[in-house]
Structure 1
């Protein structure tokens, strides 16, 4: 039998699962660079910029594209695409495709996007999904052909209890859950300890990058950040201090889930260097059960993935709205609550001027494109709908 008659080799689908500091993202980048073309979807703009810079150093700026909600750098002959998960250009075929922090498919706000990538985004030769081991049962159910590879953390993570802000060890990241709290803590550390960098998603890319460099270079020894640093940023952190254990998730203020605590705490310690986590300021001490879960990296399995119909009906405005509310009809998937883009569409559809202009497919596609504009300004629904 000739080689030609054998046909192309089947694409490999692998899920690399484990806690923080197991080298999952590093492995994906190395695998991608072993292919002629590739795309990686990351949960955070700052992480996408970090990985982009790394691949540029390896392959040169002409070979690498960066696509996020804020930045677009797309050379004419780019072979490698580094993107936020929402911004992945899936119409472009690549040999290798990876999605990081795949457990975010259970996130109430962004989950349906990660679920779509989990089910539909594929590389021609290889697809890699990276995330928490708590995703293993769900991946086995939804993707029975996937190969699951588990990885152990390179270093130990242990609880160090409560420490005053003024007594925190050097190379500490303090994590707070509001911009006001971040700035207040940073100011206190600057007065008492001499300097602190601030990292928040709402900062401009240039400012965020400069603040990360300020900390990474050793010019300051303290970093004050929102929980965004939990999403895989490779910072030189020895200790993570929680200034609170509750966050506003867009709908309500709630306690952090154990896996969220573990994701953030896991930023402490890099490669073979052990790390510690604790609480600071007015934050209550951590429950012993929560500490045990975080130290052992054992969390409840993710029960289901947030899902939204990927086959939308652009035949009419009513059809589009109905198709967005269609149920998944498959075990392991849950219909996602209305995201901001859907809320924006429903409010705009109630405006007679908008409805009158959406009488053909191209107009509906354009309207839906506008509705998907992210609310980077964090101004709330009413103001965002006015912008749309």
Structure 2
């Protein structure tokens, strides 16, 4: 009964305080001090009731239900299975007699015979009572004053509103002139983030602003806290925010002062001066709020030149009234002229945008090229058949979605006796006598001719970041014969894109059917030939570690793994050194492995903005790797949960691709440079260019992010536009801060004519090795761009050594790896579903 006893003590203190309050109430309206015995006689019954009320209410609300049941059970009541309301009713009834507080005894002990204490209570009660009466009288006076003012003030403010605006206009004009002359202009490169420092653009230029509103959207450089619906957020402050507050301050002084001068004298002297001024300000507040809103709108519409000229003229009502009338008459004419000028500018810009962009992205007409579309599901031999045709041609080009696949085809053709060179941006391998080239799709050059070209994974034409490379290859290729390999959902879109060209379509079906297992997969069910799929590098390593510690031999594949390392991991599986694979969705593109069963350890993936359910095409692309033809009669697919939902995604008909991605080409830049020379304008026009129906524009987000780093610097000034864009367009991960720093330092060295800085190499952890591999890769991108092939060969050897180290490091580190809480680093059980431990989750919630 610990809680009950605690509440009992609290109730006693509450009762004492309530009785003291009752005594003050009893004494306050007595003109002479009564005796304590008088109070005791009149209020004895009431003070007893105070204890009962306080005690019962506190006990009912604060004592836990379990303790209430325990209390009633001790008194012979049956409480198990009894309704909560009945328990509460019984408890309130029984608790009244529990440890009664002797109110009368306490009262006599505290006040009886203590004349001085009683007198002090009386004096304080009377003092507070008289103050309350005075306050009531004051409030009555204010109420009456407010009533009289409200009857008159509406008309007075309406009559004086124009004068108020003229005064505000002049004072804001003075402030505006000072800000234009003394403040710095800022630009926010990212409109949605307040994390980065604003970029100073130097002094304001008056001629840049036609209306005051054009200036008010500028940033002051400060950050303010604002209420957005039911929460606060931090945003950049604009001059509109500053001037709105300034107008409020002006009107808060001007309006009450002017109204007071206008009111009848007898009304003003009828009330206490302090009371009158206080009431007048309160009555004016609602009107002032409306005036601020209206005046902000008026000033936003004013011409900048008019207000800056006004700043030199002292305020006289009649003079400023004449100026205002003149300005209003001329303003409409000047606005009409400005509108016409802007319309001409807009039309000219639209013409330029059309000339620069639109001609480039119209679907090609009939071309003297034979197109062969290889359409089908994953693992149906599409790429193999297309490559057989390319090998027979006098010259050929293979365009791969990944560097790994370019390497694979390069090796394959050379092993089959067809000399083939390699070009991926990060490496170039020239084979003697080769007329065939294997390269990544980004390396495609539209002016080169080949007898046969193979474009792989063409459904990626819809990818928001890379799709334009497929668009350019398909529409600009120079060849006798072009083989395009794509999934079923890209069929109609590709046919439409090729227009009236000669098209042959070869459709492929799986010889090995897919079968979804009906039971939910558990890791203990893993078998030889399985490929376990998850969607992060960390999860791949954790899963591989768990399996290896359980005695299994495992190969690993994930997106950031070097292609050479990935190739070695794949060969270990193919050659039987490992009996299973743990991989990300990187396995779904181009890798033909002897996989018996694909197991989805996750049904959701992070796509850059949030976790989402896998799409049907993603499930098919990955699941299609199960059931290598000639090894397995059936390809198995398993899921850890939601089997029916995932099977539906696997079996449902693909939604056709309706749009493809377009991006700037060399012809676009050639036309752009007829009019402009800076990339900032280019990015602006690219944003304004309305892409043709059925297309979407590449975001150019990585190019813009790099451009922000060197915008306005000497680097931009000393590089040609095409050279600068080529450096921005280098294919490396801008999500790595170290790579961005390396990119900037290298560009600085190129511009300064200095030796390129060597990439930093760390050989400690697996993560450091993988980053070192990327830094060398970026260095190679620059070397090949500068045609420094001799230096490139040295760094290719270094990169191969790093790749070997990564391969060996994987064998060692994965065995030692443990699943850990992302927040506190505590070791978690392997089957713990979440990235943080239960303790950290409870703290965060």
TM-score by length of 2: 0.41
**Aligned match of 1:379:** 736
Aligned to 1:72: 428
Q: Out of 683, 689, 702, which is 1:321 matched to?
A: 683
Residues 32-43 of structure 1: pairs in structure 2 closer than 5 A? 32-43=390-401
Change (3 A) 1:323 1:286: farther
Higher RCO (C-alpha 8 Å, min separation 6): 1
Q: CA RMSD in A?
A: 2.4
Matched, 1:250 2:611: no
Cα deviation for residue 250 of structure 1 reads: 3.3
Cα drift, residue 285 of structure 1: 2.4
1:323 CA displacement: 5.4
Instruction: Find the residue that maps to 2:599 and give its secondary structure.
Output: strand
Alignment of 1:249-328 (within 5 A): 249-272=607-630, 273=632, 274-280=634-640, 284-288=641-645, 290-295=646-651, 298-310=653-665, 311-312=668-669, 313-314=672-673, 316-318=677-679, 319-322=681-684, 324-325=686-687, 327=689
Counterparts of 2:425 and 2:625, CA distance in 1: 24
1:44 counterpart (402, 410, 423): 402
CA distance in 2, matches of 1:108, 1:197: 31
The structure-2 alpha-carbon separation of the partners of 1:233 and 1:334, relative to structure 1 and needing over 3 Å to count, comes to: same
Asked if the contact 1:309/1:328 (under 8 Å) is kept, the reply is no
Corresponding residue of 1:141: 496
Match of 2:698 in 1: 336
Once the two structures are overlaid, the 10-residue window that deviates more, 130-139 or 238-247, is 238-247
Contact preservation (8 Å) 2:446, 2:473: no
How far off is 1:372 after superposition? Answer: 1.7
Q: 1:386 to 1:54 in 2, by over 3 A?
A: closer
| Whole-Å separation in 2 of the counterparts to 1:329 and 1:112 | 13
Is this contact kept in 2: 1:328–1:334, CA < 8 A? no
SS in 1 for 2:450: coil
Q: Which residue in 1 is equivalent to 2:112?
A: none
Q: Give the TM-score, by structure 1 length.
A: 0.86
Out of 354, 362, 372, which is 2:715 matched to? Answer: 354
Q: Match of 2:516, SS?
A: strand
User: 1:76 Cα shift?
Assistant: 5.1
1:68/1:166 CA distance change after superposition, 3 Å: farther
Mapped contact 2:733–2:739 kept (Cα < 8 A): no
The residue number in structure 1 matching 2:513 is 156
Separation in structure 2 between the aligned mates of residue 385 and residue 336 of structure 1, nearest angstrom = 24
- Would the aligned equivalents of 1:344 and 1:385 in 2 still touch at CA under 8 Å? no
Change beyond 3 A, Cα 1:97–1:113: same
Shift of 1:377: 7.8
Taking the TM superposition and a 5 Å limit, the aligned residue runs for 1:179-198 are 179-198=537-556
Alpha-carbon deviations, 1:200-227, whole Å to 9, x = none?
A: 2322233222111111101111111121
Flag the 1:12–1:138 CA change in 2: closer, same or farther, 3 A. same
SS of equivalent to 1:149: strand
Q: Could you list the per-position Cα deviations for residues 276-323 of structure 1 after superposition, in whole angstroms to 9, with x for gaps in the alignment?
A: 11224xxx32443x4134246x21101111112322235511454345
1:365 to 722, 728, 732: 722
Query: In proportion to residue count, which structure has more helix?
Result: 2
**Alpha-carbon separation, structure 2, partners of 1:208 and 1:70:** 16
Say if 1:269 and 1:276, in contact at 8 Å, map to a contact too: yes
Question: Are the aligned partners of 2:532 and 2:599 in contact in 1 as well (CA < 8 Å)?
Answer: yes
Instruction: Return the offset for 1:118.
Output: 2.5
* 1:3 counterpart residue number: none
Corresponding residue number in structure 1 for 2:69 = none
Q: CA 1:276/1:136 → structure 2, altered by over 3 Å: closer, same or farther? A: same
Deviates more, 1:51-60 or 1:17-26: 51-60
Displacement of 1:387 in angstroms is 2.5
Give the distance between the partners of 1:49 and 1:355, measured in 2 at CA: 35
Shift of 1:170: 1.2
Are the aligned partners of 1:348 and 1:354 in contact in 2 as well (CA < 8 Å)?
Answer: no
Which is greater in Rg?
Answer: 2
Whether the 8 Å contact between 1:101 and 1:132 is mirrored in structure 2 is yes
How far is 1:157 from its partner?
Answer: 1.1
What's the counterpart of residue 6 of structure 1? none
Q: Return the alpha-carbon distance in structure 2 between the equivalents of residues 21 and 138 of structure 1.
A: 22
Matched residue SS, 2:620:
helix
> Is 1:92–2:442 an aligned residue pair?
no
Moved more, 233-242 or 268-277: 268-277
Deviations 1:2-61 (Å, cap 9, x if unpaired)? Answer: xxxxxxx9421121111012210001110101101101111122222222211111125x
Take 2:731 and 2:643, find their aligned partners in 1: how far apart are those partners? 34
One of 551, 555, 558 as aligned partner of 1:200:
558
Residue in structure 1 matching 2:487, options 115, 122, 132 = 132
CA contact 2:716–2:724 (8 Å) conserved in 1: no
Which residue matches 2:459? 103
Aligned residues: 366
- Segments of 5+ residues of structure 1 without an aligned counterpart are 1-8
The structure 2 residue matched to 1:166, chosen from 524, 549, 560, is 524
The 3 A distance-change label for structure 1 pair 228 and 140 is same
Farther-moved stretch of structure 1 (143-152 vs 311-320): 311-320
Deviation at 1:329, TM superposition (A): 4.3
* Aligned partner of residue 95 in structure 1, secondary structure: strand
Q: Output one character per residue of 1:69-105: Cα deviation in whole Å (capped at 9) or x when no partner.
A: 4332123542111112122344432100111111111
Describe the shift of the 1:66–1:251 C-alpha distance in structure 2 as closer, same or farther (beyond 3 A): farther
SS of residue paired to 2:535? coil
Instruction: Decide which of 471, 475, 480 is 1:115's aligned counterpart.
Output: 471
Greater mean deviation of Cα atoms: 24-33 or 135-144: 135-144
Q: Is the 8 A contact 1:21 1:154 kept in 2?
A: no
* Residues 244-268 of structure 1: per-residue CA shift (max 9 Å, x gap): 1222333443322110111011011
